[in-house]
Amino acid sequence: MSEILKLSDIKPGEYAKVLKTGGEGALRQHLLDMGLTPGAALQVIKYAPMGDPLELRIHGYELTLRLSEAACIDVERSDAETASTRTGIYTDIEHPGLGEYGKTHDKSTEDPLPKTSRITFALAGNQNSGKTTLFNALTGSNQHVGNFPGVTVDRKDGVIQGHPETRITDLPGIYSLSPYTREEVVSRSFILDEKPSGIINILDATSIERGLYLTMQLMELNVPIVLALNMMDELRGNGGSVNINRMEALLGIPVVPISASRGDGLQELVDHALHVAKYQERPLRRDFCSEDENGGAVHRAIHGIIHLIEDHAKAAGIPARFAATKLIEGDEMLADQLDLTKNERETVEHIILQMEEERGLDRSAAIADMRFSFIQNLVAESVIHPRESKERERSRRIDKILTGKYTAIPSFILIMAAVFWLTFNVIGAWLQDLLDGGITALGDWVAAAMEHSGASPMLQSLVTEGIFAGVGSVLSFIPIIVILFFFLSLLEDSGYMARIAFVTDKLLRKIGLSGRSIVPMLIGFGCSVPAIMAARTMPSERDRKLTILLTPFMSCTAKLPIYGFLTAAFIPAYAGLVMVSLYLLGILVAVLFAALLKRSAFRGEAVPFVMELPNYRLPGAKNVGRLLWDKAKDFLQRAFTVIFVASLVIWFLQHFDTGLNMVDDPETSILAVVAGTIAPVFKPLGFGSWKFSTALITGFMAKESVVATLTVLFGEGAAIASALTLPAAFSLLVFCLLYTPCVAAIAAVKRELGAKWAAGLVLEQCAIAWIVALAVKVLFELLL
Ligand code: GDP
Ligand code: MG
């Protein structure tokens, strides 16, 4: 017997076997769900550049773990994983036909859906298993995005192409059905409450063990289910093979090998899914415990509890098998739903205690172990693992640099710099000039045409100064915005974001955040709305709130037109430098603010950091294309609704006085009077004219509107340059960077955190913006 060590004592490259998983509650369940069960063999791969967290390999996939969490796991050193040496290919024996008796489904309970009813599917799987790719491939463009009822977790619905009677709902990416994250709760209540006719469960065939852990829990829900083995191209390309028929027989559900990104096997998947759903063919097997295994303690406990709670489970509409295993795992939420009597609760507790004693493992570990040993047996019988795949090897080589001890942080900085440089200088700039030229030409042409046809001067002014100046001034930013989104999505889908989280975790913890917070923040450079929603994946409420409060400080793309406009008018020579400084200032303010919050409202430790590091993969062109189109559409929509209307309203208010007479001098217009009342607030900042307060107010609707309004009110560059001193221009830039996020972002915060937080955020950001802008102005007045 070798000595008992902590996982945190294991050096990179060394192998170990888990003896005991410590910790408690959600953290512990999460560790177990991710496969850190007693007996599991693992290899420590490396430590993050700052010494924390560590990366390890277990069950054939890579995980990150903080040292503090690794310290709760007892291990012993072991020899190199005896990698399976089996090679060969399972020759493709004919796949069982649809609904073949007894092969993959339980036909005894067959109860076909009425012909006319809508067939609904839930699409479930791990993160990075290819869910989005499959969803897009199946639905084409028939998609609808919304929220799950009552909670704010993204919900995408679509219709399977060619089958208008279907609806498929993309569930969030999850690893288990424990009640510890919103994603898991949402997924499980969706299946239990909305009762989809079937589940399409997608898993990454290159880390099959990981995916099957979820599959087994989904099967316990006793809903017709089809398993889609994705990434088969990658598996086969590296000499791996799956005996599909054997796996089907062992699991008792149809298994279809697919490649979502290439579109292989999708037709077969749809056929099988429609079939099991139509005929309501439920999984043949829901029982994964064996009476011979480890004395059968777990088996007896599960079945004992099933019988005990059967009536309650039926009444609550929860499958008894699922209820029983969750009860054993200590799932309080489910215990409440079952509404057990005190006596029954105690009996359940006794059964569990007995099992713990006989099995020598505590409840959660015993269940996780039961699942993983079933998986191991299944995989041993039906899967030939690929040799060290090209993709993994490539990932490892890339990681040597991107997460290497000395190269990680410089690479990160370089990559981000390259992204911004390419976006603004190389690709974005000339596209923008091109578009700008086009819009100006069109504007001139329309102006000339109107002049020629003798349209009234008022109409001419409305069209040229109102519409073209307003909407046109922001429209030309569309290429830059789309390109920035392109790079951000590339970073995210390629798997690099997860590495950034791994590398920066220790740094972010110093300001009370976790590595995961960096993902929403980076997305925040694109737009705060998806960034705020991306914070949903954070496992702790505290971190989620903190991250949401900080993302609006990241300079979003809508603020770009403001920077572009003002730098062009004031210091064109240093435009780039000013822009970079603004981005950095946003980050700096966020860091200081976080440090402040950590010391006051947000005391406490950051959450566990157990995260999968997927292989690097190139995202599919179609997916990227769709995303970019969505972003462009979004922006265009805003340009022609909010900004269009705002430009018109501003034009109108500027040209009429309170008696609705047209004015010659804008100083007497309605706008001057109304906006003039709040203008004094900005006097100390150097931009006390009503024109600026108007622009800032319209910026509340959409940040691009600030520029639209300024152009309507001042005309192009020159006039504004004489209205502000240089320090005042800096102060205006800083104020625009930091002040309240736009309505859409505030609405997102309200959805996520409630009205109080949203209102607080607006006030807090305005106050911070005011103070920092003043400081900047004073500083520059001293310097210049
Ligand atoms: P999600 O996180 O589950 O939504 O996964 P995505 O759909 O974003 O896919 C993750 C990555 O895997 C993307 O880079 C995809 O391009 C890639 N991918 C998806 N399906 C396949 C496949 O069948 N084969 C290969 N080689 N890559 C795939
Ligand atoms: Mg996805």
User: Quick check: 537 pLDDT over 90?
Assistant: no
* DSSP assignments along 102-136, one per residue: TTSEE-TT--PPPTTSPEEEEEEE-TTSSHHHHHH
| Strand positions, DSSP E, 243-296 | 255-257, 282-283
Angle subtended by helix axes 297-316 and 363-382, to nearest 10: 100
Classify burial at 292, counting beta carbons within 10 Å of its beta carbon; exposed 0-12, middle 13-18, buried 19 or more: exposed
Q: Which residues line ligand 1 (CB under 6 A)?
A: 125, 127-133, 173, 230-231, 233-234, 259-261, 493, 617, 619-620
How remote is the CA of residue 232 from the centroid of ligand 1, in Å?
Answer: 11
Q: Which residue has the higher pLDDT, 468 or 757?
A: 757
Q: Which residue has the higher pLDDT, 738 or 705?
A: 738
Q: Which helix (H) or strand (E) holds 41?
A: strand 41-47
Q: Using CA positions, which residue lies closest to atom 13 of ligand 1? A: 619
Q: Which ligand is nearest to the CA of 134?
A: 1
- Distance (Å, whole) CA 145 – CA 44: 40
Starting at the earlier edge strand, list the strands of the sheet with 61-65: 5-6, 73-78, 15-21, 41-47, 54-58, 61-65, 611-612
Assess whether the previous peptide bond of 179 is cis (omega < 30° from 0): no
Pair of tokens at residue 122: 């839930």
Average pLDDT, the chain: 85
- Distance (Å, whole) CA 585 – CA 197: 52
pLDDT at 765 (0 to 100)? 94
Q: Using CA positions, which residue lies closest to atom 14 of ligand 1? A: 619
Q: Are 777 and 731 in contact (CB under 8 A)?
A: yes
How remote is the CA of residue 523 from the centroid of ligand 2, in Å?
Answer: 14
Percent of the chain with pLDDT over 70: 93
Q: What is the DSSP letter of 179?
A: T
pLDDT band at 664 (very low <50, low <70, confident <90, very high): confident
User: Quick check: 74 pLDDT over 80?
Assistant: yes
pLDDT digits (tens, 9 = 90+) for 85-138: 555 666 555 555 555 544 555 556 666 777 778 899 999 999 888 898 899 899
User: Quick check: 149 pLDDT over 70?
Assistant: no
User: Quick check: 19 pLDDT over 80?
Assistant: yes
User: Quick check: 732 pLDDT over 90?
Assistant: yes
Pair of tokens at residue 277: 């759903």
Which pTM was predicted?
0.80
CB-proximal residues (5 Å) to ion ligand 2: 132
| Ligand 1 atom nearest 126 alpha carbon | 3
- Give the residue among 270, 201, 204, 271 at the shortest CA–CA distance from 233: 204
Q: Which ligand is nearest to the CA of 265?
A: 1
Q: Which residue has the higher pLDDT, 86 or 441?
A: 441
How remote is the CA of residue 133 from the centroid of ligand 2, in Å?
Answer: 7
Q: Using CA positions, which residue lies closest to atom 22 of ligand 1? A: 231
How remote is the CA of residue 614 from the centroid of ligand 1, in Å?
Answer: 10
Q: Which ligand is nearest to the CA of 130?
A: 1
Q: Could you give the residue ranges of the DSSP H alpha helices within 360-468? A: 363-382, 390-402, 408-421, 428-453, 457-461
pLDDT band at 781 (very low <50, low <70, confident <90, very high): very high
Pair of tokens at residue 192: 């239990």
- Distance (Å, whole) CA 784 – CA 779: 9
pLDDT digits (tens, 9 = 90+) for 161-191: 999 999 999 998 888 998 877 788 888 889 9
Q: Using CA positions, which residue lies closest to atom 15 of ligand 1? A: 619
pLDDT at 213 (0 to 100)? 94
How remote is the CA of residue 128 from the centroid of ligand 1, in Å?
Answer: 6
| Ligand 1 atom nearest 129 alpha carbon | 3
User: Quick check: 559 pLDDT over 60?
Assistant: yes
- Give the residue among 732, 751, 676, 367 at the shortest CA–CA distance from 563: 732
pLDDT at 102 (0 to 100)? 46
Q: Are 101 and 130 in contact (CB under 8 A)?
A: no
pLDDT digits (tens, 9 = 90+) for 297-316: 899 999 999 999 999 999 99
pLDDT at 431 (0 to 100)? 83
Comparing 40-44, 102-106, 415-419, 441-445, the range with the smallest average pLDDT is 102-106
Q: Best of 261, 489, 519 to mutate for ligand 1, by most ligand atoms within 8 A of CB? A: 261
How remote is the CA of residue 596 from the centroid of ligand 2, in Å?
Answer: 34
pLDDT band at 730 (very low <50, low <70, confident <90, very high): very high
The mean pLDDT of 349-372, rounded to a whole number, is 92
- Distance (Å, whole) CA 333 – CA 54: 32
- Distance (Å, whole) CA 66 – CA 400: 19
pLDDT digits (tens, 9 = 90+) for 667-691: 788 888 888 888 999 999 999 888 8
How remote is the CA of residue 131 from the centroid of ligand 2, in Å?
Answer: 6
Comparing 9-23, 497-511, 549-563, 664-678, the range with the smallest average pLDDT is 664-678
pLDDT digits (tens, 9 = 90+) for 240-291: 889 998 999 899 999 999 999 899 999 999 999 999 999 888 888 777 887 7
Q: Which ligand is nearest to the CA of 616?
A: 1
Q: Which ligand is nearest to the CA of 492?
A: 1
Q: Which residue has the higher pLDDT, 8 or 80?
A: 8
Comparing 18-22, 221-225, 534-538, 780-784, the range with the smallest average pLDDT is 534-538
Count Cβ atoms below 10 Å from residue 589 Cβ, excluding itself: 20
The mean pLDDT of 68-95, rounded to a whole number, is 70
